[in-house]
Structure 1
Amino acid sequence: MKIGSRTIKTAIGTPISISIAQVLGLTNFVSAGILTILCIQPSRKRSVLSAWHRFLACIAAALFSIVFFELIGYHPLVIGAMLVCFIPVTVFLKVTPGIATSSVITLNLYSAQSVSFSLLTEQFLIIIIGIGTALILNLYMPSLENQLKQKQEELEHYFQIILNEIALYIRDKNENWSGKELRICEDILQEAMDLVLLEKENHLLRSEHPYHDYFLMRQKQLELLEKMLPLVTRLPNRDNISLKIADFFENVGDAVHPGNTASLYLDELEDLRRKFDQEDLPETQEEFETRANLFRLLHEIEDYLLLKKKFKKSDVNEKKQKTKKTGAT
């Protein structure tokens, strides 16, 4: 079982905050550890927002506690009445994540059965120590670059399988493929986008991320691949042009990787379309349906390649000496 960085930071931060509170001689020193546990977050951005929300909520809870406990009394029902008024205020201030944290301060003041300046000072120090320790620890976030790279490689591997399976079906009517790679790709894309969101939140001054555009592009390509499958299954018999299209799909599948030489395959597709137009006109209903589905299939794979072409600057000039099979789609 893998232990995440959030768990490690919680295990480190909790005893640190408790120790600091003890050294300062604070009565409710354990509360500092509880605040740290509640404030550890999975990203820097969430950590900063969480610290701010919880700090405001704790200050508001202290003020509400003073008013309700001192004016009405120290009774469990008063806590309920205070929460009825306090929670809507946190909603209005948009600091609802701080409700659980602020309850620690509220219960500390309730337990004391009286409010004094020294007690309020202690609570303020507990807030600073607990939230501050979590905030400092959350400044360190491990890079997700390796995980994103792995997701990219996995996704491209399954894209290759899907494209080659389409080629096999066009060529040999291979019906053994279950199509499970499509679902696997969807899962990988969801996991990858979650990682990208976390990585973006770890860079407070950067709103863009290169992997976000990449996985978004692959997501749109996957939707096109899913649209191609019904067209492929409606192809009755193979002919000369369908075999050429099968070869084209196989070449595109073999060339899936992060680079961008999609323009090479768009040129090849244009040549294929010209050959398609030069074929004799269909004479039967079956031939007409085959030709129509092949034409739509060419249109879908063209959109697939155009997505990659628009994604990043072309690598064709840098790799023009290489064969088309080394191109990237």
Structure 2
Amino acid sequence: MAKWRLGYRTVKTALGAALAVFIAQLFQLDFYISAGIITVLCISVTRKESIRVSWERIAACMIGIAIGSVLFTFLGYHPLSIAIIILLFIPTAVTLGLKKGIVTSIVIIFHLYLSQDITLQLLFNELILITIGVGVALLMNSYMPNSERELTWKQVELEDDIRKIWKEFASYLRDANISWDGREISRAASTIEEAKGLALINMENQFSRNDDYFYHYFTMRDKQLNVIERMLPFISTLDDTVIQGKKIAVFMEELSDAVSPGYTAGYFLVRLDELYHEIKAMDLPKTREEFEIRSSLFYILHELEQYLIIKKMFKPDPKRTHTVSGKRLYRDQEKGDNKNNYH
């Protein structure tokens, strides 16, 4: 059973519906309760979605009023007229991309039916109802909680898991330690999925700027996690430790210590290239088992390069700060091509 909770959107919907009905009642409008219904229908998850939905409902209502006024006048006020109007209106609204305005418009059409007389006063009444309902919904949706703090903490949690993954990979290559259960990989995947959805909502709530940093960041980490998952079976099937694997383990530990959203991967790509040529210059494998291990290690080196290239293509935001592992603050920087460059 779902947990009972009172979210901010529910509160906004309740307050908005009450305010819309109060205003409509204050102006002594007919069918004033419908202003609250329109407000409830127009309150959306994001600011941009609220504006889109409001526009669709206004446009659909105008079309519904036009079709209803004409057909009720010529066909009369009886149930068959309602059926004909709806049969014409719904396909028209769908064709014009106004599907979300269908329910609101049908409510307005029923008002026309109940009035039994199309007058300018009635049409004005309906327009004011629509204006109040949509206007109050937009007012309620002008407040949206800032999700950047939550996204930042998800970033921190994800980076902690990635650090742990690299350390465990290094531990296995160095000592063949098989005690790790791999929970960080599944947890990282879950964090990325949740964060990307939240980042999309955050983008939809921005009007003044197109803030897509977090979405691109978690998309980048998603691609890197796919690389990590491809590496896992090759690492886990290595039954013996070799000097080449220990050298890669040292590289992975250094990589782990540098996980961050900022800087470039340039330093690590240079280090990886040096490591590749160092291993390639070593004596050739003497047994089939050594050949298979060496082959797996070269594949791991290839995937490490893909991991770093993905990060190199990501453009960090130098103005953002967040807490690393909940203990210290740091600011991303774009300069610095030294050993402390983060990947």
- Give the aligned partner of residue 19 of structure 1: 22
- Give the aligned partner of residue 180 of structure 2: 177
Count of residue pairs brought into register by the alignment: 325
Whole-angstrom distance in 1 between the partners of 2:131 and 2:61:
10
- Give the aligned partner of residue 286 of structure 2: 283
- Please state how far the C-alpha of 1:256 moved relative to its aligned partner: 1.2
Whole-angstrom distance in 1 between the partners of 2:154 and 2:208:
25
TM-score, length of structure 1 as denominator length: 0.92
Percent identity at matched positions? Answer: 41
Whole-angstrom distance in 2 between the partners of 1:105 and 1:10:
21
Q: Is the 8 A contact 1:61 1:103 kept in 2?
A: yes
Q: Which moved more, 1:107-116 or 1:47-56?
A: 107-116
- Give the aligned partner of residue 324 of structure 2: none
Whole-angstrom distance in 2 between the partners of 1:51 and 1:316:
42
- Give the aligned partner of residue 202 of structure 1: 205
- Give the aligned partner of residue 270 of structure 2: 267
Which is helix-richer, 1 or 2? 1
- Please state how far the C-alpha of 1:67 moved relative to its aligned partner: 2.4
Whichever residue aligns with residue 266 of structure 1, its letter is L
Whichever residue aligns with residue 140 of structure 2, its letter is L
Q: Tell me, what secondary structure is at the counterpart of 1:311?
A: coil
- Give the aligned partner of residue 163 of structure 2: 160
- Please state how far the C-alpha of 1:226 moved relative to its aligned partner: 0.9
Whole-angstrom distance in 2 between the partners of 1:315 and 1:204:
27
Whichever residue aligns with residue 164 of structure 2, its letter is I
Residue 281 (structure 2) pairs with residue 244 (structure 1): no
Whole-angstrom distance in 1 between the partners of 2:75 and 2:27:
32
Whole-angstrom distance in 1 between the partners of 2:177 and 2:262:
30
Whichever residue aligns with residue 14 of structure 1, its letter is A
* Residues 24/14 of structure 1: CA separation in 2 closer, same or farther (3 Å cut): same
The match for 1:48 among 48, 51, 66 is 51
Q: Is the 8 A contact 1:262 1:308 kept in 2?
A: yes
- Give the aligned partner of residue 71 of structure 1: 74
The match for 1:111 among 114, 130, 134 is 114
The runs of 5 or more residues in structure 2 that have no matched partner are 317-331
- Give the aligned partner of residue 220 of structure 2: 217
* Cα RMSD for the two superposed structures: 2.1
- Give the aligned partner of residue 103 of structure 2: 100
Provide, for residues 178-216 of structure 1, a one-character-per-residue CA deviation record: whole Å limited to 9, x for no partner: 333222222221221112211211223544511122112
* Residues 152/65 of structure 1: CA separation in 2 closer, same or farther (3 Å cut): same
Q: Is the 8 A contact 1:263 1:316 kept in 2?
A: no
Q: Is the 8 A contact 1:54 1:102 kept in 2?
A: yes
TM-score, length of structure 2 as denominator length: 0.88
Residue 149 (structure 2) pairs with residue 146 (structure 1): yes
Whichever residue aligns with residue 79 of structure 1, its letter is I
